[in-house]
Amino acid sequence: MKGDDWATYSVQIERAIYSCEIEPCSLSECIDRGQKWDNRYVPITVADELIKLKSLHDRGAINVFEYDGQKEKMLKNGPPPFSVADELDKLKSLLDSGVINVFDYDGQKKKLLQN
C-alpha cells in the first residue's frame, strides 16, 4: 500500500461513518478487543455534556446564563450533534495559553452557544 492510499482509505471510512453507511464499534467492543477508542465517535449524552458544561462554568469559561441556556436546550432537544462543551474547553485552553484573545474567544463562544 502506498502512503497516499492509506490516507484515502482513512477518509473514506470516516465519510462512511459520518453518513451512517457504517457504524463504529461500541466502546465496550473496542475495550474488549483492546482497541484505542477514538473520542470522535463516543456517543454524546445529555448527562456527560452537562457535567462538562458545569466544569466550564466552575472554571469561569461560561456564565450561569450560558450554562442554564445550554442545559435547558439539551433537556428539551436531547444531546447536541457534537460536544459544545469540548469545543468550549478547547477555546478556553487557547485563550489561557495566549493563542487567541478574549474577543476571539467570546465571538467563537457566542457562535457555539447559539447553535
**DSSP string covering 35-86, please?**
PPPPGGGSPP-HHHHHHHHHHHHHTTSS-HHHHHHHHHHHHHH-S-SS-HHH
Q: What is the mean pLDDT of each run of 10 residues along the chain (115 residues)?
A: 50 64 55 45 78 93 94 89 90 93 94 86
Question: What ranges do the domains of the chain cover?
Answer: 3-41, 46-114
pTM: 0.60
